[in-house]
């Protein structure tokens, strides 16, 4: 049992109070106003003599202005708020990474709020962040609490939505081109010879990206039905896979294969989480990817090449998305005044063994 140290004195008892602009002024023998001017309006109004005196004083005291005080005075905090539905989601991490990088480069710091998949707390998050005078918000959330984001925007703070739209919100929107991506995956499966398709998604609820992807799949199927000559016998359905109901997924896959008959069955998964669920189901069923079931999944991951014969994926330009989100925001902060933009980036197909019908 370690003895309790009676009194912890820091190695070098620095004054608890930080050095302020007043210290610099005193050191340089000028007024606070002059120091402030040197800091903010260096280009104009300054005697070189005084300028250098201030400069050395600043260096000598290792002074740096307090962002808090600056924020209080100017109203601008050089802070950007990021609300994330779930940091465990690899996609969110990518957004986080890109956004944080762009922020750093532009001299902003990121304040993070993770919803932990509890979307009801979205407005709480936005409230907390706006209280800290964040200059703008990046939202990667389910978007079910429309009011929350809306009143952030109403406060005049620019907002960028990533991946998931909020119902009728006036804000920039950065996302994958879901329609194109679904077509990419589905047509790849078709070209590889799979004819009975199943789109497996997380519970749609009202999440825009899930809605879009599912709708895109349905229309792909119905369009193909009209051009029956090019893809004879193509059929498709959809299924929502939850985390708990593994049996439901197993059954869905079994009946998929049954429906397929002597046609080949194929699955498109709507994100990496769902892909993993299907992988688990395949293990339970003892089926082989490619031969027994074709698969293309949204989201390229580090492990995609090494599961089964390699999983075919639709890679999202995640870094780009994150960077763009922050970039949009920073442009707005710099004064750009345009109507809300939509930036859609294309997905990229990464074909692997899971979509090769080896017999």
Of 19 and 255, CB closest to a second copy: 19
Of 48 and 226, CB closest to DNA: 48
User: Stretches 41-49, 90-98, 171-179, 254-262: which one binds a second copy (CB under 8 A)?
Assistant: 90-98
Of 31, 219, 228, 251, the one binding DNA (CB under 7 A) is 31
Min dist CB 13 to DNA, Å, is 17
Question: Looking up tokens 């070209």, which residue turns up?
Answer: 191
Of 36 and 114, CB closest to a second copy: 114
Binding of residue 22 to DNA (CB under 7 A)? yes
Of 71 and 291, CB closest to a second copy: 71
Between residue 13 and residue 32, which ones bind a second copy under the rule CB under 8 A? 14, 16
Return the axis-axis angle of helices 122-131 and 146-154, rounded to nearest 10°: 20
Pairing of strands 348-350, 312-315: antiparallel
CB 145 within 8 A of CB 120: yes
**Which of DNA, a second copy, none interacts with 127 (beta carbon under 5 to 8 A by kind)?**
a second copy
How far is Cα 254 from Cα 241, in angstroms, rounded to an integer?
Answer: 14
Per DSSP, the three-state class of 119 is helix
How far is Cα 212 from Cα 210, in angstroms, rounded to an integer?
Answer: 5
**Which stretches within 31-177 are classed as H helix?**
32-40, 48-61, 67-74, 90-105, 122-131, 146-154
Binding of residue 147 to a second copy (CB under 8 A)? no
Of 8, 47, 48, 49, the one binding a second copy (CB under 8 A) is 8
Of 81 and 236, CB closest to a second copy: 81
**Which of a second copy, DNA, none interacts with 21 (beta carbon under 5 to 8 A by kind)?**
DNA
Binding of residue 65 to DNA (CB under 7 A)? yes
What backbone torsions phi and psi does residue 192 show, to the nearest 5 degrees?
A: -75, -5
Binding of residue 133 to a second copy (CB under 8 A)? yes
Binding of residue 10 to a second copy (CB under 8 A)? yes
Q: What is the DSSP string of 73-106?
A: HHS---EEEEEES-TTSHHHHHHHHHHHHHHHHT
According to DSSP, residue 18 is labeled P
Binding of residue 343 to a second copy (CB under 8 A)? no
Residue 317: how many other CB atoms lie within 10 Å:
17
CB 354 within 8 A of CB 296: yes
Of 129, 197, 221, 325, the one binding a second copy (CB under 8 A) is 129
C-alpha of 164 from chain center: 9
Between residue 248 and residue 307, which ones bind a second copy under the rule CB under 8 A? 276, 279-280, 283, 301-303, 305-307
Question: Looking up tokens 């991490």, which residue turns up?
Answer: 93
CB-count exposure of residue 185 (10 Å: 0-12, 13-18, 19+):
buried
Of 31 and 167, CB closest to DNA: 31
Min dist CB 322 to DNA, Å, is 30
User: Stretches 32-40, 89-97, 230-238, 289-297: which one binds DNA (CB under 7 A)?
Assistant: 32-40
**Which of a second copy, DNA, none interacts with 59 (beta carbon under 5 to 8 A by kind)?**
none
How far is Cα 293 from Cα 259, in angstroms, rounded to an integer?
Answer: 13
**Which of a second copy, DNA, none interacts with 133 (beta carbon under 5 to 8 A by kind)?**
a second copy
Residues that bind DNA (CB under 7 A): 17-18, 20-22, 29-34, 36-37, 39-41, 45-47, 49-51, 63-66, 69-70, 72-74
């Amino acid at each position: 049992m370690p003895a309790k140290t009676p009194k912890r004195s820091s190695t070098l008892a620095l004054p608890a109070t930080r050095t302020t602009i007043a210290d610099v002024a005193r050191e340089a023998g000028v007024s606070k106003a002059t120091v402030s001017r040197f800091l903010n309006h260096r280009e104009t109004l300054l005697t070189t003599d005084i300028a250098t005196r201030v400069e050395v004083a600043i260096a000598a005291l290792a002074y740096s202005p307090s962002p808090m005080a600056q924020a209080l005075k100017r109203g601008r905090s050089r802070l950007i708020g990021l609300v994330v539905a779930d940091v465990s989601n690899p996609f969110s991490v990518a957004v986080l990474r890109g956004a944080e990088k762009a922020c750093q480069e532009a001299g902003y710091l990121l304040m993070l709020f993770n919803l932990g998949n509890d979307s009801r707390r979205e407005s709480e998050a936005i409230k907390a962040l706006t209280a800290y005078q964040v200059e703008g918000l990046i939202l990667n959330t389910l978007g079910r609490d429309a009011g929350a984001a809306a009143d952030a925007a109403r406060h005049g703070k620019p907002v960028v939505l990533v991946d998931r739209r909020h119902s009728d919100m006036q804000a920039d929107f950065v996302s994958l081109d879901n329609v194109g991506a679904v077509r990419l995956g589905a047509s790849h499966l078709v070209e590889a010879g799979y004819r009975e398709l199943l789109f497996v998604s997380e519970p749609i609820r009202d999440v825009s990206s899930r809605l879009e992807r599912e709708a895109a799949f349905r229309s792909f199927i119905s369009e193909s039905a009209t051009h029956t000559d090019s893809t004879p016998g193509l059929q498709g359905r959809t299924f929502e896979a939850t985390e708990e109901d593994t049996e439901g997924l197993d059954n869905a896959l079994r009946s998929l294969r049954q429906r397929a008959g002597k046609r080949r069955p194929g699955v498109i998964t709507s994100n990496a989480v769902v892909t993993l669920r299907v992988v688990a189901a395949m293990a339970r069923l003892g089926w082989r990817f490619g031969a027994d079931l074709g698969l293309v999944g949204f989201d390229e991951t580090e492990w995609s090449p090494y599961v089964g014969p390699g999983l075919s994926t639709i890679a999202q330009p995640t870094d780009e998305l994150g960077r763009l989100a922050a970039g949009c925001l920073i442009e707005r902060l710099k004064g750009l005044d345009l109507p809300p933009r939509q930036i859609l980036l294309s997905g990229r197909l990464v074909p692997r063994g899971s979509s090769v019908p080896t017999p």
